[in-house]
């Protein structure tokens, strides 16, 4: 009986984790909305900054992007970020995109509790599995400039 109760609790815990997990989105699906594609096409990254970023990417850089298709800031910043990644062609860079639904309740603080993702978009940068920086909601100087500042 005790083992059954433990198994049921374990399954409920796993189900809760899966239910609250953000949905992974292929990069190509990020641009399915014509407005998002337009923002991608309109962004013209600075070639000198791209060259500097390409030199600093190195190996084992991962970026997890948490965004909402319903969010204006996501629409403004995720397509240019995607264009930067597409233009870089950096072998040492892995990018994962995660779609988030709107918060269910006004008192809900985080979209992703365990990562403390409170606003979207949130770009979390990891080097060798360790977080090295974030861009939250709106870049300070620009998406390319902030990306470069984090990996520099």
Q: How many helices (H) and strands (E) does the chain have?
A: 6, 5
Q: Is 145 exposed, middle or buried (0-12, 13-18, 19+ CB in 10 A)?
A: middle
Structural domain contains residue 11? no
Structural domain contains residue 84? yes
pLDDT in tens, 52-93: 999 999 889 999 999 999 999 999 999 999 999 999 988 889
Q: Which CATH number goes with the domain that contains 70? A: 3.40.30.10
| pTM of the shown model | 0.84
Structural domain contains residue 1? no
Structural domain contains residue 62? yes
In angstroms, the Cα distances linking 121 to 44, 48, 58, 100, 138 are 20, 25, 24, 9, 8
Domain that holds residue 54: 21-151
- Name the percent of the chain lying above pLDDT 90: 78
pLDDT in tens, 109-120: 999 999 999 999
Number of domains in the chain: 1
pLDDT number for residue 105: 87
Residue 106 has pLDDT above 60, yes or no: yes
Structural domain contains residue 118? yes
Count the neighbouring beta carbons within 10 Å of the beta carbon of residue 12: 10
Q: How far apart are CA 36 and CA 80, in angstroms?
A: 9
Q: Mean pLDDT over all residues of the chain?
A: 88
């Amino acid at each position: 009986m005790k083992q059954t109760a433990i198994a049921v609790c374990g399954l409920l815990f796993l189900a809760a984790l899966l239910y609250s997990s953000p949905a992974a989105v292929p990069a190509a699906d990020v641009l399915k909305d014509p407005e998002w594609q337009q923002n991608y096409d309109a962004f013209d990254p600075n070639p000198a900054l791209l060259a500097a970023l390409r030199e600093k990417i190195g190996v084992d850089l991962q970026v997890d992007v948490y965004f909402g298709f319903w969010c204006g800031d996501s629409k403004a910043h995720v397509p240019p970020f995607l264009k930067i990644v597409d233009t870089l062609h950096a072998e040492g860079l892995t990018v994962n995109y995660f779609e988030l639904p709107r918060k269910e309740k006004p008192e809900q603080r985080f979209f992703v509790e365990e990562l403390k993702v409170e606003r979207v978009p949130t770009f979390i940068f990891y080097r060798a599995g360790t977080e090295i920086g974030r861009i939250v909601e709106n870049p300070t100087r620009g998406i390319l400039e902030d990306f470069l500042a984090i990996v520099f």
